[in-house]
């Protein structure tokens, strides 16, 4: 039994999902003639109460398209120092949009309104880049699956409105936040100019993201997606996986959250663990006590067929997901207890 806890992106489509994909009605989506893609875009937009959606092959491309939509070369966006758009999108912010990042030292990947207000450059001071966009991530990845309170996001939105800034949500794992905090997706739709959501993380689809926004923004995003090479043809087969995931795999995320918390409870009893970030969803980040080496723990666990990953600085990450079943969980808890 191989147990892979490096990420929630490692899941494989189930037989039922594949059957659903196999039966999809398709057309040429570059001509917007694929009914399954249109159904997915419409359904996700309605779910968040936003006007329109656009299907993307990846969360990275959806985020990069949003940044391109909301900025001009030479401008600056504000994000947390852990932001995926800054750390893990290959420098796309500067490559695709010619934009720099003003990074905020937030709390587990989350920033607040006062920090945003303090990070905005005076638009009259032409020596500095013009601030035009704020990006937040919910849940946070490098921040350990932390979730925002809606009121905190509304406060940031007020600062954006007062300063003529656009507001983008990297909602790759928004589903986890919705389940963990029992939030209404339409509340998010009312706050943000654009939201990107991923179907290929906790929801278990093999591929796919949707960018949400106003009709006008999504119309412009269609051109940007084309420029980025993201126009796809009979892609309804893949959109169907997303539809299946939306119908079957949202509520069960609570199981992933429970399991992550149970693993944290075992780790909390271990003298070799120095600290564990609060576990709110399916991502667990912990650091090792002095003298213990992350690569050695990774190797020892590997010998027991359990894979986890390093975050650098002696921090480790465990991510629970759809393919991590109860029998595996029991084995992981037992194995860690004995370490
Ligand atoms: C917070 C966050 N945003 C965006 C992405 C990008 O998604 P993709 O891997 O589909 O490009 C990821 C991927 O892990 C992520 O964790």
Mean pLDDT estimate for the chain: 98
Measured by CA distance, the residue closest to atom 7 of ligand 1 is: 59
Q: Is the pLDDT of residue 300 over 90?
A: yes
Tell me the pLDDT tens digit for each residue of 105-133.
999 999 999 999 999 999 999 999 999 99
> How many whole angstroms separate alpha carbon 137 and alpha carbon 196?
10
- Reading the block at residue 105, the tokens are 């030292």
- As given in the structure block, the two tokens for residue 302 are 């590997």
Taking a C-beta distance cutoff of 8 angstroms, is the pair 145, 279 a contact? yes
Return the ligand 1 atom nearest residue 58 CA.
10
Nearest CA-CA partner of 222 in 53, 28, 40: 53
Average pLDDT over residues 194-205: 98
pLDDT of residue 332: 98
In the reported structure, the alpha carbon of residue 232 is separated from the centroid of ligand 1 by a whole-number distance in angstroms of: 19
Best mutation site among 57, 59, 135, 148 for ligand 1 pocket (most ligand atoms within 8 Å of CB): 59
Q: Do 24 and 212 form a contact (C-beta atoms < 8 A)?
A: no
> Tell me, what's the pLDDT at 251?
98
Strands annotated E in 203-333 = 209-213, 273-276, 283-288, 306-307, 309-312, 315-319
Contact present, 126 and 134 (Cβ < 8 Å): no
Q: What is the pLDDT of residues 207-265, one digit of tens each?
A: 999 999 999 999 999 999 999 999 999 999 999 999 999 999 999 999 999 999 999 99
- Are the C-beta atoms of residues 314 and 320 closer than 8 Å to each other? no
Ligand 1 atom nearest 140 alpha carbon: 1
The side-by-side arrangement of strands in the sheet containing 100-104 is: 52-56, 209-213, 194-198, 166-171, 131-137, 76-80, 100-104
Which among 79, 172, 195, 242 is the best mutation to test ligand 1's pocket, defined by most ligand atoms within 8 Å of the CB?
172
pLDDT, tens digit (0-9, with 9 covering 90-100), for 58-110:
999 999 999 999 999 999 999 999 999 999 999 999 999 999 999 999 999 99
From ligand 1's centre to the CA of 127, what distance in Å? Answer: 33
The C-alpha atoms of residue 198 and residue 184 are separated, in whole angstroms, by 17
Calculate how far, in angstroms, residue 282's C-alpha sits from the geometric centre of ligand 1. 15
> What is the b/e burial string over 70-82, where b = at least 16 CB atoms within 10 angstroms of the residue's CB?
bbeeebbbbbbeb
Residue to mutate, 198, 203, 317, ligand 1, most ligand atoms under 8 Å from C-beta = 198
The residue whose two tokens read 């037989």 is 15
> DSSP 3-state assignment of 26?
coil
Contacts with 258 (C-beta within 8 Å, 6 or more apart), sequence order: none
Instruction: Provide CB contacts within 8 A for 162, sequence distance 6+.
Output: none
* Cα gap 165→168, rounded to integer Å: 10
User: Ligand 1: residues whose CB is within 6 Å?
Assistant: 9, 58-60, 63, 84, 137, 141, 170, 172, 198, 200, 209
For ligand 1, atom 8, which residue shows the shortest CA distance? 59
- Choose the residue to mutate in 9, 61, 84, 89 for probing ligand 1, maximizing ligand atoms within 8 Å of C-beta: 84
**Which pLDDT tens digit goes with each residue over 42-61?**
999 999 999 999 999 999 99
Determine which residue's CA is closest to atom 4 belonging to ligand 1: 59
CA 56 to chain centre: 14
The atom number, within ligand 1, closest to the CA of 61 reads 11
pLDDT at 1: 87
pLDDT-above-90 percentage for the chain: 99
What is the distance in A from the centroid of ligand 1 to the CA of 60?
Answer: 6
């Amino acid at each position: 039994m191989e147990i892979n806890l490096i990420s929630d992106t490692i899941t494989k489509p189930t037989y039922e999902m594949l059957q659903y994909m196999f039966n999809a009605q398709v057309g040429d989506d570059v001509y917007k003639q694929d009914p399954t893609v249109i159904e997915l875009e419409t359904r996700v937009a309605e779910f968040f109460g936003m006007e329109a959606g656009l299907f993307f092959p990846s969360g990275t491309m959806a985020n990069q398209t949003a940044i391109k939509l909301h900025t001009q070369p030479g401008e600056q966006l504000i994000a947390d120092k852990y932001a995926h758009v800054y750390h893990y999108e290959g420098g796309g912010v500067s490559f695709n949009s010619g934009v720099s990042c003003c990074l905020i030292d937030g709390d587990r990947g989350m920033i607040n309104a006062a920090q945003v207000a303090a990070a905005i450059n005076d638009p009259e001071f032409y020596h500095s880049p013009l601030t035009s966009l704020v990006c937040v991530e919910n849940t946070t990845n490098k921040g350990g699956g932390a979730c925002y309170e809606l009121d905190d996001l509304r406060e940031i939105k007020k600062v954006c409105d007062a300063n003529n800034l656009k507001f983008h949500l990297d909602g790759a794992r928004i589903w986890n936040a919705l389940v963990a905090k029992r939030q209404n997706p339409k509340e998010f739709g009312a706050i943000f100019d654009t939201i990107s959501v991923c179907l290929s993380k906790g929801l278990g689809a093999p591929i796919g993201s949707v960018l949400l926004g106003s009709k006008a923004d999504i119309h412009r995003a269609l051109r940007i997606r084309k420029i980025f090479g993201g126009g796809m043809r009979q892609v309804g087969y893949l959109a169907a996986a997303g539809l299946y995931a939306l119908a079957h795999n949202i509520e069960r995320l609570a199981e992933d959250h429970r399991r992550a918390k149970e693993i944290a409870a075992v780790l909390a009893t271990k003298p070799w663990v120095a600290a564990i970030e609060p576990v709110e969803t399916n991502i667990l980040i912990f650091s090792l006590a002095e003298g213990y080496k992350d690569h050695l723990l990774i190797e020892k666990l590997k010998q027991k067929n359990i894979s986890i990953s390093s975050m650098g600085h002696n921090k480790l990450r465990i991510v629970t997901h759809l393919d991590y079943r109860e029998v595996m969980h029991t084995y992981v808890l037992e194995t860690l207890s004995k370490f």
